[in-house]
Amino acid sequence: MKIFGRYIALPFVLLAGLDASLFLSVLYTLSLTNHCKGCYMGAVAGLDPVRALLLTAAFLLVTTSSGLYTAETLKGFAPFLKRFLLAWQLLLIPTVAVFALTKFLAGLPFGWYVGVLTLAITIFMMLLFTVRAAMIWLLSKPFVRRRILVLGNGEIADRLTNFLEGSDQAHLRHVRTVAPPPVPAAIATSGNLALHVQSETPLLAVARSLRVDEIVVATRDMRSLPMYELLECKLHGIAVTGFMTFWERESGQVDFLHAGPDWFAFSDGFLLNQPQRALKRAADFAVSLAFLVLFLPLILATILAIRLESPGPIFYRQERVGLNGRIFRVWKFRSMRTDAESDGVPKWAGAGDSRVTRIGRFIRKARIDEIPQIINVLAGDMSFIGPRPERPFFVEQLREMIPYYELRHRVKPGITGWAQVNYPYGASVDDARQKLAYDLYYVKNNDMFLDIAILVRTVRVILFAEGAR
């Protein structure tokens, strides 16, 4: 399903819609007590429609930030429970705190109301838990998954088959991989797409017998495809999709290893116009100022902790490659010893790196070390959202080893980004290839909606310390 031009798997849309409907229903049920003068709940939950919708939107923001609408939550009960408990706390604690503070400032007693509000949220979350558990059980059944037939052979078909059979594809089911049937000689020679007058083509017969929802074409040689049979499948309600489109849609990556220059030139996206850049610059400036004020106490505490642990500078400045290959110096909190690269040779940061200090290990895990990059955003060297800026030494290596690597420099680098929320810190050339697939997806599809989605996912990455090294 497409929302704001972005494909979102239908099960996650259904889950979000179900949760929002349940939340809104509970709010309206509680607000009925407005008409009962003896009911204390009315003083707590009395809502007009506008506030009810705003609260529902805030609720969806909390549950989405907690990762309740990801493939991982559909794989098993444990990942769901972990994120559900986090969402519960993120919903309960701020709500109770804000309510108690407003009552306190108004000089009103708030203890009883806080208790009632806590009970109401707890009852709602238990109800939500029951419905979500039932929904997850239902979505785990094969008959509700989208049934995919892979048409092709060779490396691309094998890769797609392995992807579909992976544990992360909870909403997809691979039913079969078949080689393209031979194209009749007359049609292959003339290129005529005229359909034969027959009740059912061989490919359509296979698709119908397997109850296929979508056929994904995974082959390099398009001339060998039975186009008339694929069209017949489309005319009978079966979606037909090319490998590159399907891969981008389902994985959130661009498979640049199988994409030629013609695909980059003619595919949708990669539109980087000036009005869009100006709008993003204004948003970057506003968001950065807000975050700077919000995180000021944390910034001061981090400065103190670094100063107390080890001698040396608080901040770390290092050359990075920015927009169109321009070099700038990035600001970060120092997380390594001052002699981390005493030999002058840049090194990848690996898991359990011995050069990282104790405070450095914590601030890297919580991504606190990235906060000073707000200075770079305000200065215009970086954006809040974008590919991670890399060091010139590594860029020179990677552009020689990885095709299309330079394309990631056509947008400003960011503090957080699509690759950062989907893949851990890069520590090798293979990691750089994986992250480039995500970076190219961002360059191709960059817009405000994707930026908002990345910001929401960043909350989950920070809370669960995902991908830190």
Q: Is residue 264 part of a domain?
A: no
Place of tokens 């969402």: 87
Contact 219, 154 (CB under 8 A): yes
The whole-model pTM stands at 0.81
Please tell me whether residues 159 and 118 are part of one structural domain. no
The string of pLDDT tens digits covering residues 322-379 is: 999 999 999 999 888 776 665 666 666 655 666 788 888 888 888 888 899 999 999 9
Contact 91, 66 (CB under 8 A): no
Please tell me whether residues 109 and 154 are part of one structural domain. no
Q: 384 by DSSP, 3-state: which? A: strand
| Side chain identity at residue 6, one-letter code | R
Q: Is residue 259 part of a domain?
A: no
The string of pLDDT tens digits covering residues 387-398 is: 999 999 999 999
Predicted pLDDT of residue 184: 59
Task: State how far the alpha carbon of 414 is from the alpha carbons of 104, 309, 370, 374, 424, in Å.
Answer: 41, 29, 10, 10, 15
Q: Cβ neighbours of residue 55 under 8 Å, at least 6 residues apart?
A: 23, 27, 47
Q: In this model, does residue 60 exceed pLDDT 70?
A: yes
Predicted pLDDT of residue 234: 93
Q: Cβ neighbours of residue 146 under 8 Å, at least 6 residues apart?
A: 10, 171, 172, 173, 213, 214
Report percent pLDDT > 70 for the chain.
83
**What is the longest distance spanned by two Cα atoms in the chain?**
88
Residue at which a domain ends, from 251, 284, 317: 251
Contact 66, 463 (CB under 8 A): yes
CA angle in degrees (0–180, nearest 5) for 16-18-21: 105
Q: Is residue 256 part of a domain?
A: no
Rounded average pLDDT over 221-244 = 90
Contact 255, 156 (CB under 8 A): no
Predicted pLDDT of residue 175: 94
Q: Is residue 263 part of a domain?
A: no
Please tell me whether residues 294 and 430 are part of one structural domain. yes
Predicted pLDDT of residue 437: 95
Predicted pLDDT of residue 363: 86
Q: Is residue 265 part of a domain?
A: no
Please tell me whether residues 349 and 244 are part of one structural domain. no
Rounded Cα–Cα distance for residues 37 and 148 (Å): 58
Q: Which domain holds residue 418?
A: 274-463
Please tell me whether residues 405 and 455 are part of one structural domain. yes
Q: Is residue 257 part of a domain?
A: no
| 179 CB neighbour count, 10 Å cutoff | 13
Q: Which of 3-7, 105-109, 176-180 has the highest mean pLDDT?
A: 176-180
Place of tokens 């970057």: 284
Please tell me whether residues 182 and 280 are part of one structural domain. no
How many folded domains does the chain comprise? 3
The string of pLDDT tens digits covering residues 285-336 is: 998 899 889 889 999 999 999 988 878 889 989 899 999 999 999 999 988 8
Contact 400, 357 (CB under 8 A): no
Q: What is the mean pLDDT of the chain?
A: 82
**Is beta strand 146-151 parallel, antiparallel or unpaired with respect to 2-3?**
unpaired
Please tell me whether residues 292 and 402 are part of one structural domain. yes
Q: Is residue 269 part of a domain?
A: no
Q: Is residue 193 part of a domain?
A: yes
Please tell me whether residues 371 and 447 are part of one structural domain. yes
Nearest to 322 by CA among 373, 257, 268: 373
Task: State how far the alpha carbon of 126 is from the alpha carbons of 24, 92, 114, 119, 299, in Å.
Answer: 15, 13, 18, 11, 37
Residue at which a domain ends, from 139, 173, 188: 139
Predicted pLDDT of residue 35: 47
Predicted pLDDT of residue 254: 94
CA angle in degrees (0–180, nearest 5) for 293-299-301: 130
Rounded average pLDDT over 122-143 = 80
Rounded Cα–Cα distance for residues 221 and 243 (Å): 12
| 11 CB neighbour count, 10 Å cutoff | 22
* Residue 352, token pair as written in the block: 């359990």
Predicted pLDDT of residue 444: 92
Rounded Cα–Cα distance for residues 459 and 456 (Å): 6
Helix (H) or strand (E) holding 376: helix 374-379
Q: 307 by DSSP, 3-state: which? A: helix
Predicted pLDDT of residue 344: 61
Rounded Cα–Cα distance for residues 113 and 101 (Å): 12
Please tell me whether residues 18 and 135 are part of one structural domain. yes
**Residue of higher predicted confidence among 194 and 61:** 61
Please tell me whether residues 298 and 410 are part of one structural domain. yes
Rounded average pLDDT over 93-110 = 78
Contact 15, 132 (CB under 8 A): yes
* Residue 163: CATH number of its domain: 3.40.50.10700
Question: What sign does the CA torsion over 219, 221, 224, 228 have?
Answer: positive
**Residue of higher predicted confidence among 99 and 458:** 458
Please tell me whether residues 278 and 242 are part of one structural domain. no
**Is beta strand 6-7 parallel, antiparallel or unpaired with respect to 2-3?**
antiparallel
Residue at which a domain ends, from 118, 139, 160: 139
Q: What are the residues facing 239 on neighbouring strands?
A: 214
Q: 2 by DSSP, 3-state: which? A: strand
Please tell me whether residues 58 and 85 are part of one structural domain. yes
Backbone angles phi, psi at 403, to 5 degrees: -65, 145
